[in-house]
Structure 1
Amino acid sequence: MTITQTQLTVNFRIEAGCLGPEGVSHIDQFCLLAHKRLKALHSDFIDWNLTPRSDKTLPEIDYAINGKMLSRAQAARYFTIFDQHIEDFEAAVFEQLPIIIDQYFSR
């Protein structure tokens, strides 16, 4: 199997606080909605894993291939295979978050 056939897993941990003071009661459902919205972002090579960020020692976003964690530099090299930049990808993810929050509360 070549690297282009292997999807990059993006572990995105979302803080309940971004959903306001009652965020803890919404975070699980929000993660489901966010997954639906984000899965279209580079779906050709990305597999999303969205979870609540309950462990603050873990980063908000990290990367893996076949269950093996990658350094940010390794993930950045993976993005270059698809003529993408990790910085642009992460910026797009964090730009989508407030939009998805608005969608969540307006449904």
Structure 2
Amino acid sequence: MEELINSAKALNAKKLVVLCRLEPGCLGPDGIDHIDAFCQVAERALVNFNADICHWCLAPRLDKSLIEIQYSLAGKVLSRDKAIKFISSFEQDLDVIEERFEDKLTQLINQYIARKR
């Protein structure tokens, strides 16, 4: 079991971790009451999204001084330029990946809002 955990950690160390902080208002006027639950649900829905090179993390953006999107690799925070270089080493484009992510996130937000009504 420990071997399996260590191999999972080793695989994730080679993936770009993308932390996206979401404004509670994206879920409507009562978004503050739902943002934690939404982040958990949406993160599970994104497990397989570009899973070969990215790991997506979602968190509420309660502190506006924190940046909206943060990149890291093997526990070290990367600049956007370094994240672009890492992604391009897989012959992929970070802008395209993020655009697809935003489309998927919008879909998840709309589904969540529809269910809570």
Question: Given the two structures, how large is their TM-score scaled by the length of structure 2?
Answer: 0.81
Q: Partner of 1:49 in structure 2?
A: 57
Q: Partner of 1:80 in structure 2?
A: 88
CA distance in 2, matches of 1:84, 1:57: 30
What is the CA distance between 1:52 and its match in structure 2?
0.3
Q: In the TM superposition, what whole-angstrom CA distance separates every residue of 1:1-35 from its partner, at most 9, and x where no partner exists?
A: xxxx7111111111100000000000011001110
What is the CA distance between 1:62 and its match in structure 2?
1.4
Structure 2 runs not aligned, ≥5 long: 1-12
What is the CA distance between 1:105 and its match in structure 2?
2.6
Structure 1 runs not aligned, ≥5 long: none
Q: In the TM superposition, what whole-angstrom CA distance separates every residue of 1:24-81 from its partner, at most 9, and x where no partner exists?
A: 0000110011102222211112122210011112221110011110010100001112
Percent of residue pairs identical? 41
8 Å contact kept, 2:24–2:61: yes
1:105 aligns with 2:113: yes
1:31 aligns with 2:39: yes
Larger Rg: 2
Q: Which of the residues 5, 9, 26 maps onto 2:17?
A: 9
Q: Partner of 1:40 in structure 2?
A: 48
1:62 aligns with 2:74: no
CA RMSD of aligned residues (A): 1.6
Q: How many residues align?
A: 104
